[in-house]
Amino acid sequence: MTDTSSSASRPGVSLARVAIVSAGVTAAAYLIAGAFTHWVDVTHRDSIHVSGSAHERITSDRAMWGATVHARGTTLTDAYAILARDVPRVRQFLIEHGIPEGDVRIGAVSTTELYAQDADGNAIVSQIIGFTLEQRVELTSEDIERVGQVAREVTQLIEGGVDVSSSAPEYIHSGLEEIKIRLVGSATADARARAEQVAEHADGSLGRLLSANVGVVQVNAADQTEVSWEGVYDRSSVEKDVMVVVRTEFVLE
């Protein structure tokens, strides 16, 4: 015989239990939420969090440029003879364009073996059919305009039979670290000024600085506003905008 006194045959009992459990969960959630809200209120009543920023337009004072000279031959000797002929031509080209000889650097030679291929295009490493040599020519100069001119006119070498590939010039500022330090101070002062305005309108007064967190420095091309967690460092433009953000916490009295 089925037990008619079981909870399965008495829905009222089940509903009551659910109601009790729900009420308990609701009460617990209310207590937890109340404690969290109280913690947030206390924090915001005792202190204030404000971000400040500072930025500065700078002009690069260094330019860097590089080109790679390529040579290919059926033997290593043949390839090197081509490289030994063309690298000095690139060097002379730079000197004739006003680049001081001491600003020019010649890198090491890299060698690549060329292999025959089977019908499927796979290399047959036992059959060397030639060699490719590469050598890097680089320069760093304070003459920004002259480096840009060299980069534009390197095609003259290609027209003269030199197998050379050129990279775009890069521009940097040698005093960037000092600029960053100065901007951190300016950004902190900006944060304090903002915090004082908030405190004044809240009928309070601003106390001491509790903490300051300096964000990553963003160095963008002029009038650009790209932001990255790792920081932006533009090297493609001469004119740059440097920005620093400082997140601060002050005592609110």
The pLDDT assigned to 100 comes to 94
Q: How far apart are CA 52 and CA 30, in angstroms?
A: 36
Q: According to the model, what pLDDT value does residue 7 have?
A: 44
pLDDT at 45: 59
Q: What is the pLDDT of residue 202?
A: 78
Residues of the chain with pLDDT under 70: 1-45
Query: In the chain, what are the domain boundaries?
Result: 9-33, 48-59+175-252, 62-172
User: How far is residue 195's CA from residue 215's CA, in Å, rounded to a whole number?
Assistant: 18
Q: Do domains 48-59+175-252 and 62-172 have the same CATH topology?
A: no
pLDDT at residue 29, as a whole number: 39
Rounded CA-CA distance 182/243 in Å is 11
Query: What is residue 226's predicted lDDT score, i.e. its pLDDT?
Result: 87
Q: Return the CATH number of the domain spanning residue range 48-59+175-252.
A: 3.30.110.170
- What confidence tens digit (pLDDT) does each residue in 133-179 have? 999 999 999 999 999 999 999 999 999 999 999 999 999 999 999 99
Write down the CATH number for the domain with range 62-172: 3.30.70.2970
Q: Per residue, what are the HEC states of the chain? A: CCCCCCHHHCHHHHHHHHHHHHHHHHHHHHHHHHHHHHHHHHHHHHEEEEEEEEEEEEECCEEEEEEEEEEEECCHHHHHHHHHHHHHHHHHHHHHCCCCHHHEEEEEEEEEEEEEECCCCCEEEEEEEEEEEEEEEEEEECCHHHHHHHHHHCHHHHHCCCCEEECCCEEECCCHHHHHHHHHHHHHHHHHHHHHHHHHHCCCCEEEEEEEEECCCEEEECCCCCCCCCCCECCCCCEEEEEEEEEEEEEEC
Q: Are 111 and 76 in contact (CB under 8 A)?
A: yes
